[in-house]
Every structure is written in structure tokens, then in C-alpha cells.
Structure 1
Amino acid sequence: QEVDITGVTMPITKHNFLVKRVEDLADTIREAFRIAKSGRPGPVLVDVPKDVQNALYEYTAQKPVEKDPVPAVNDSEIEKAIEMILAAEKPYIYIGGGAITDDAGAEVLALAEKIDAPIGCTMMGISAVPSSNPRWLGMEGMHGHYASSIAQNEADLIITAGCRFSDRGTGNTAKYARNAKIIHMDIDASELCKNIPVELGMTGSMKDILQKLAEKLPQQTHADWMARVAELQEKTRELEAQNPDELTPFTAIDALAEAADKETIVATDVGQHQMWVAQHYPFETPRTFISSGGLGTMGFGLGAAIGAATATGKKTILVTGDGSFGMNLNELATAVTNQTPVVVFIMNNGVLGMVRQWQTLFFDKHYSNTTLERKTDFVKLAEAFGMPGYRAMNMAELKEVLPKAFAEKGPVLVDCAIDCDAFVLPMLPPGGCIDDIIVDISAM
């Protein structure tokens, strides 16, 4: 047990500690919680060696630690932001996970109404604003909605709240937002101008900054801009149109959403199914979308869904792929033992779909290790673990089995057949920009 775990985890934690004396343990734990909760939340690791675990020491109770206060935004920065917003003719509000962390969804909507602007998001910003809101364009970026990505590219001002401009959102940074000035507000000052240079960076609470802007700004109208946004939304609907009687990724998600309610938490693994959910599931309530957001963590979803169902006591959906599900399916034993109300929905295309999509589009269909040809029967597997399993090979079967699955009190599995050639579109090629957007592979 001699791995330097603090050294190993230093690049992937917010902070970490090695406790060498039992006298320091309690205060170290308190400090770890303070750091984890303050500012931009993040993981803190505490390494407690065996000798410290075995040692005896008198514990002195103290009040729970409080997180550090959020720095107040500078009034001059608010005035500068107001000046930039009033000068804009095509404003676009762009939100990330920070807007959800700060419970700022209502403030985002209030500002959008005040300045007559559409709202787009990163993947981590999904669910901050109800998807039914007419200003909501959804996710932009590599696999974003057509309307959201194009509108951001055409905007002359991007008002950014709580996102970090990752490469999946920006594409080629040299060509990102060429026509726009950027206001970037974030609780973490280190994120400002880190990936994208901005005209105005503001450190503070998203909720507070957005509220102040909405209060101080006069009502604005951008009729021509919103008419253009409506055109883009109609184009998005055309691109995403599906035959409701045909089993496709989007019609499967429609059926799943119809069987659930607006409060149901949906967790995903990693891959095409993750992007299809991000693109198409109608999230109406904040914090109902749980996804790892990066690092290709296939297998993340089942543990996340079990955790969400355990914490809330409510039925939770896991949308996964056959590749991701295979990484951590052993945790079905945990769900069955505790009768955790998780609906495991496998979008089963028999391949590692996202990698295969890249191999198709960018590597001349040189398929390597993405066609699995596994013989596993997931329905029988579920039954072996002690839970019901259902299979749907077409839309009629899916509509028949979903009510049965949602009627189960404990865990249940649905194996849903998806075409291996169903792709996640639109797509920006790696290193590409909005000029390179792919909406139809038949034209390639």
C-alpha cells in the first residue's frame, strides 16, 4: 500500500491532504470540506495512513465549517456589462454547469426576457432552463443543436454564465465567435480568459450578477434577431424530424420521456446515447440530468443512477449503451439487493457507436475493435441478477414494455434495439468550426 496517492491525484482533485498525525485529522477533514464546498465545488482527497487510523486521540466537537463567501461583483463591471448589452443587436446567453450550481435558472430566464435574447448551453448546463421555453435553443458545440450553434456563431454578444469554453463547445478556438464580443461571468476567476479571450470577465455569483443586470437594464426588443432565431429553430425541427412509428434514438427517447414525469432524474453513461439524451430529452426541472461531462467514463451511469435513486427515493432512469453498460453491469447486484428503483434503458446497437461514427466519418470506414459481436443476452442477465428484463425490437414493442417497466417497484432493465448506423448529428469535426458543421452524412 505504498502508492503516493496524493501525488497521483494532484492533477484531478481540487486539493488533497496526507494526514501524518492523528492530532491533525479532525481539522484536516474540516478544511477539506471547506475547500470542497467553497467557490467552484470540487473533489478533495484526504489520505489517512493506517497508523493514524489506529491511533487514539480525544475528539473535540466544533461547529460545521462554512464555505467561503462569494466575492461580490464590482459595480463598474456591472456598468460595463450593461453598456455592452445595450450596444448589442444580436445577444446570445450561454450557460454552463455553474448556472445550475448557483440555482440561477430563473435569473437566466429573467435576463433573456429583459434583453430579448435566446439561450444556449453547454452539456453541463442542460436542465437549468426548461426545454419547453421558446427562448431555449439547447446545447451548442460539437454535437449541439443546429439552432444553438448557428445562433451563437451569428451573435454579436455572447453573455456567458458558468462555463469554461471547453473544446467540445468551441471547436477551433481561432475561429470561435468571430463576430461576437464576450462577457464571461464565473465564480472561479482562473476560468476567465483561460481558453478564450473575452472583453469582460466578471467573478462572482451567477445568480447575483444576472439579477443585477436584469434589474438595471431597460426592456429591449430585437425583433429581427429573434425572427432569425425562429428560422434556425424551424431548421432544427426539420433536421430532427423522425417517423414516430419507426424505432430510432429520438423516438425511443420520446417514448421514454412520455413514460416518465418532469421530475424524473435521467443519468447517462458515455457515447452516442449520452449525446442523443443531451440533444433530445425534454428536461424541465433543474438537476434532473446527470452525466459525467468528460473523460470518456464508460460505466459511470449505473452508479450515478443508483446514487440518485437512493438519495431521492424516486424512480431514476439510466440511459446507457451496450458498450458502456458492460463496463459496470456488476452493480446490478447492488440495485437488486437494495431494490433501488432504477430503470436501466440500454440503447443497444451492438457496436461502440461513437468511436465507430468517427471511424466512418473521418477514417474511411476502417473499423477497429468497435463491432463487438457479443453474445450476451441482457434480458436473461437481468433475470439472473434477480430483476425483470424486457426487450424491444421495434416501436410497437417499446410502447408495450415501457409501461410494464415503469410499473416495477425495484430495478428493471429494458434492452432496446438501435440501428448501428444511427449517428449523432449535427457534428463539428474535431478541430473544425461552425463552417464545417455536418448535418447529413449522405452528402459526404
Structure 2
Amino acid sequence: MALRTPWQQIVAGLEAEGIPYVFGLPGSAKQLYDALYDSTSVRAVLVRHETSGAFMAMAFARISGQVGCCFGCPGPGVANLVPGILEAWSGCTPVLALGVRASSRTYGMGAFQEADHLSIMRPITKWAVTVERPERVGWALRRAISLATTGQPGPVYLELPADLALEAVEMPEYRPAERAVRPAPDPDRIERAVQLLMRAERPLLVCGGGAILSQAYAAVERFAESLGIPVQVTPAGRGIMREDHPLFAGLVGLYRTEYPKSVYEEADLLITVGSRMEEFQSGVWHYFPAQAKFVQIDIEPFELGRNWVPDLAIQGDARLTLERLTGAALRACLTPNQARLADLAARRSAALAQMEADAADDRVPVRGKRVVRAINRVFGHNTILVKENGAQDLWAYYWPYYQVLDPGCVVPPAEQTAMGFGVCGAIGAKLARPDRYVVCTTGDGAFQMGMHELPTAVQERAPVTWVVFNDRALGWPRWTQRTALGGRVIATEFAATFDFVAVARAAGCWAEHVEQPAELEPALERARRANDAGQPAVVDVQVDSEEHHPGFEEFHRLR
């Protein structure tokens, strides 16, 4: 037993759990941060806004496989965490949010910054709790981390009343949480899946974020290679396989290009693992392969049959289930269909050649497709792509214009697509993997929601490159106004905006503006060299706002 305050016990718990960062900013200096001052292994990352801290924690968790931690002071501080915690809830990402509640002596009396935080957080967390007794804080932290990381992962919220948080009491030694308890699949259902595989001629595996959360990288590749089955991904599942792999076949739904569309539509057995197949992934639930059987694998029973009704539902961890399924299929002597593999290879090669010709478009303003292809060429391997979700930076989703060349190297927003997530989250990704390049693709609208964190990147020695697709507009809603609303454009064009290069330079970043296609790759090369020297970089590209991938327009005809 040791005499500690609850905050000191929290810090001891974070140290024991191996959580290296707390993303946030202090309100009262006595709460949490004074305890962090004495820690040698947990570092406070000072953000400019609490929402940014939650975004950074989510991106850190995605890349590191560790729990991300953020902090909000009472009232508005905790409320500012909500967009990031909502995004983590949507993306099933293990984030620990810490907060301070008004003093137990005055709560309910109109105390300063008094608010019912639990009512805010309960709908968007797996668990939200106020620790009412100082000596229970270790139990609460351990419980929170266990819940955040087991089953279907997700965010949790733990708060301390301001007075009790500073009360020193005898604390038991902190015991780290039991993490990542994973359910294995029902063997009978695995055998039924093998029977479906035996009857299928054109099976297809679609991986969602659950495959990433399960760390199923090797299991997915072995399943695909052993059985000769192409792999597609949702945005959340991107990074489960290197995208220059011959069996990688692109993204689904809104994000599909011509080759992925053909592979998907011809499938006679659709196997999804770790995906809800939500609105954007499923084409508003219209994009289901005609006549295909459907196997759904998910760790969370609530998700089974939530949208499309499966012919076979398997509850289980993604990695464990694919390992069992691969083993059972090999015992049943299933082998790759060589004729199909040859056909897929030829079509894939044609898709790559078509992309290269298309991406070489040298019209002005610069085309978004050319920007993402140039990023891919200049930064290459060992690069983490952090994405926003705007109309022009959406080209980064369209394989093969951008190809993720290493597993685990993508940070997407979840289905909330909160603007500014990628801009801020890129810093968390870089802190998770300082050995990799980190490139964030963002529109100018989203960049304006997160560019206040450029000094944070400088301060934290986190050399990220932000590539801004700048059309001086909120491009996606303006496109809808022009195409679906008869040109009734309102509140989507920036008549006045920032000089992003000047802002970036003032914050200590390297920065350059690009208007001509020929300027693009040299500017990106200079940004990469700035990153090599430890300096964050901004490349502000004046882009065309009119051209979108045909899949973008096809999807919108369904809505």
C-alpha cells in the first residue's frame, strides 16, 4: 500500500499499462497534470483544443494498437472531447477519456463548470463512470481499460470529483488490466463456411475495421493466398494488406473503382469480416452481389444481421476466425483456382495501366487524382496515410490512385467523418510511429478546422506533411448544390480565407503553394526532405473542384 492521491494512482496505472501519452490541456493545474509532472514514462501532449486531443488519441490508438488517452477539464473541456469520442465510438477504437467533475462538496449547487458529464458520455462510450471513493480509482481504471480493449473495442470515460481527486489515501498496488480477450468461432459454423467455399467459384473477402483491431494482417494474407481469394476493404479495413499485393482488389461502396466493382459484382460468395457494411460501404445497401451467398464474421453479436441478413453468421474474433477457417479449408483440400487468378491478374494489370494514364492529367487547376498519385510516388513505402473525407481529397480513397504499400499504415475517420480529425490525428499517428512518414490528405475546409494544431506538431517534434486540396470551398455540399439543387449555391464558398503557407510558416512549418502540375512532385520532395530534417510541412495545392471519380457520382444517384 502506498499513500497517493487518485491522480497519482491514475498516472501509476497509465505507466503500468504502457500508455505513453495524455493528449489534452490543463484547466486547474492541480488536476492530473501535477501528478504527470513526476512521471518518467507518461508524457503530456499540450494541444490547442480538447477536441484535437481526442482526435490524436484515436489516431494514436489506430496506429499503435495501444489505448489512446485524452483529458478534458470540467464542463466545456469535457464537452469539447465529444466529437473525438463520438468518432472513436463509431470506429470501435479504444480511447480512454479522463475528466474532472465539480467537487462532491458543491456538486448540484451551481458549482463552477458544473455539468452532468456522464449523461453526455454514456451514449457514445462503452462505459462512463464517476469514481466516488479515492481508493477505488485503480479498480475503475483497470475496468475501463479492460472494457475498452476486449470484445468490440471502444472508448470509455472516467472522471474524478475535483476534491476527492486530491485526497491522499492508502492505495493498493495497481494491477494492469486483462486485455484483448478474444472469442474463438463455433467449429460447426467454420465447417459450414468451408462447405460454402467448396461450392463457390468466385469467393470474395471484404475486411472492415474489426480486422485491423484484431491485428489480423497475417491471417488475412494467409487466407487469401492459400485459397486464391481476392481481398477488398472498407475505409476502416484499409491497411489490412499491402495494396500492391496481387490479390488486393480495392475498396467497396462509395470508394470503389472499375476493377474492384467488377470483382465485387461477380462474387458468388461474399465473406465480410469485422464490418457492419454501413451506408457508404454498401452503396446505401444496394451494392450486394446478385445471387451471392453471404457469410458475416464479427466479434460483436449485435452486428450480426444488423444490415444484410447472412446465410451464415459467425461470432468470433477476426484473426482467430480466419485462422480457423484457413486451416479447415486446407484440411478439406481447397486450392486456388488458377484460371481465376490469371484472369484477376490480367484485369488488375489493366486497371493499374489505366490509372497511370488517367493520373497523368496535366490540366490546370491540378486534378485531385494527380495529387494522390504524386504523394504515393514521392513518399512511397513506410508512409502512414491519414485521411479526411472531402470531395477532392476523396481521391486518396480510390485505389489504385493511392496504394497503401505497408500493412497498418492508414488512419481513416470513422463513419462520423468529423472534419479536422485527420488534420489533428496525423500528429497522434506520428507519435505512435516516429519511424514512418505521415501524410495527411485534407480539403481546405477540414484543414481550417484543425490547422491550429500546426504548432503542436512543431512543439512535439512530430514532422507530418499535410497536403491541402484547396478549392476555396466546401466542395462536397457545393457539388450537391450544383448537381441536385439546380445551382442554388449558398454558404459553401470561401470568399475570404487563410493564406495557408503564411500560417504554416508562422507556426514553424515548411510550406509551399502549388498551382501547376509540374510543380507538384518537386514540392512534395521538398516537404519530405523537411520531414527528414524534423520539420512539419504543408503543401497547399490549388485543385480542380469539378472532377470526381465516376463511382462518386454513381453512389449519389442512390441517395
- Compute the TM-score of the two structures, normalised by the length of structure 2: 0.73
In the other structure, the counterpart of 2:11 is: none
In the other structure, the counterpart of 1:216 is: 328
After superposition, what is the alpha-carbon deviation per residue over 1:77-125, rounded to whole angstroms, capped at 9, x for unaligned? 1110000110112211111111122222222222223333221111111
**In angstroms, what is the RMSD of aligned CA positions?**
2.2
- When residues 430 and 2 of structure 1 are mapped into structure 2, their CA distance, relative to the original with a 3 A threshold, is farther
In the other structure, the counterpart of 1:120 is: 232
Q: 2:555 aligns with which of 418, 425, 429?
A: 429
In the other structure, the counterpart of 1:385 is: 507
Contact 1:115-1:220 within 8 A present in 2 as well: yes
How far does residue 8 in structure 1 lie from its aligned partner after superposition?
1.3
Q: Partner of 1:85: helix, strand, or coil?
A: helix
In the other structure, the counterpart of 2:402 is: 281
In the other structure, the counterpart of 1:73 is: 185
Q: 1:244 aligns with which of 330, 350, 360?
A: 360
Contact 1:140-1:146 within 8 A present in 2 as well: no
Residue 515 (structure 2) pairs with residue 403 (structure 1): no
Q: How many residues align?
A: 433
- When residues 206 and 292 of structure 1 are mapped into structure 2, their CA distance, relative to the original with a 3 A threshold, is same
Residue 219 (structure 2) pairs with residue 107 (structure 1): yes
* Larger mean Cα displacement after TM superposition, 399-408 or 241-250: 241-250
In the other structure, the counterpart of 1:351 is: 473
Contact 2:424-2:453 within 8 A present in 1 as well: yes
% same residue: 28
- When residues 110 and 418 of structure 1 are mapped into structure 2, their CA distance, relative to the original with a 3 A threshold, is same
Q: What code does the residue aligned with 1:391 have?
A: H
In the other structure, the counterpart of 1:417 is: 542
How far does residue 68 in structure 1 lie from its aligned partner after superposition?
5.5
Distance (Å, rounded) in 1 between the aligned partners of 2:230 and 2:269? 11
- When residues 2 and 317 of structure 1 are mapped into structure 2, their CA distance, relative to the original with a 3 A threshold, is same
- When residues 40 and 270 of structure 1 are mapped into structure 2, their CA distance, relative to the original with a 3 A threshold, is same
Q: What code does the residue aligned with 1:244 have?
A: A
Distance (Å, rounded) in 2 between the aligned partners of 1:284 and 1:99? 17
Distance (Å, rounded) in 2 between the aligned partners of 1:197 and 1:236? 34
How far does residue 393 in structure 1 lie from its aligned partner after superposition?
0.8
Distance (Å, rounded) in 2 between the aligned partners of 1:113 and 1:370? 47
In the other structure, the counterpart of 2:414 is: 293
How far does residue 42 in structure 1 lie from its aligned partner after superposition?
0.8
- When residues 311 and 118 of structure 1 are mapped into structure 2, their CA distance, relative to the original with a 3 A threshold, is closer
Q: What code does the residue aligned with 1:272 have?
A: A
Contact 1:145-1:236 within 8 A present in 2 as well: no
Q: 2:391 aligns with which of 262, 269, 272?
A: 272
Residue 373 (structure 2) pairs with residue 254 (structure 1): yes
How far does residue 44 in structure 1 lie from its aligned partner after superposition?
0.4
Distance (Å, rounded) in 2 between the aligned partners of 1:286 and 1:53? 42
After superposition, what is the alpha-carbon deviation per residue over 1:261-317, rounded to whole angstroms, capped at 9, x for unaligned? 311112122312442112132102122111212213111122211112122223321
Q: 2:159 aligns with which of 44, 47, 51?
A: 47
Q: What code does the residue aligned with 1:313 have?
A: P
In the other structure, the counterpart of 2:451 is: 329
Q: 1:38 aligns with which of 150, 162, 176?
A: 150
Q: Partner of 1:159: helix, strand, or coil?
A: strand
Name stretches of at least 5 consecutive residues in structure 1 with no aligned partner: 434-444
In the other structure, the counterpart of 2:124 is: 12
Q: Partner of 1:63: helix, strand, or coil?
A: coil
In the other structure, the counterpart of 1:365 is: 487
Distance (Å, rounded) in 1 between the aligned partners of 2:258 and 2:252? 8
* Larger mean Cα displacement after TM superposition, 334-343 or 172-181: 172-181
After superposition, what is the alpha-carbon deviation per residue over 1:313-340, rounded to whole angstroms, capped at 9, x for unaligned? 2332121111100012111121222332
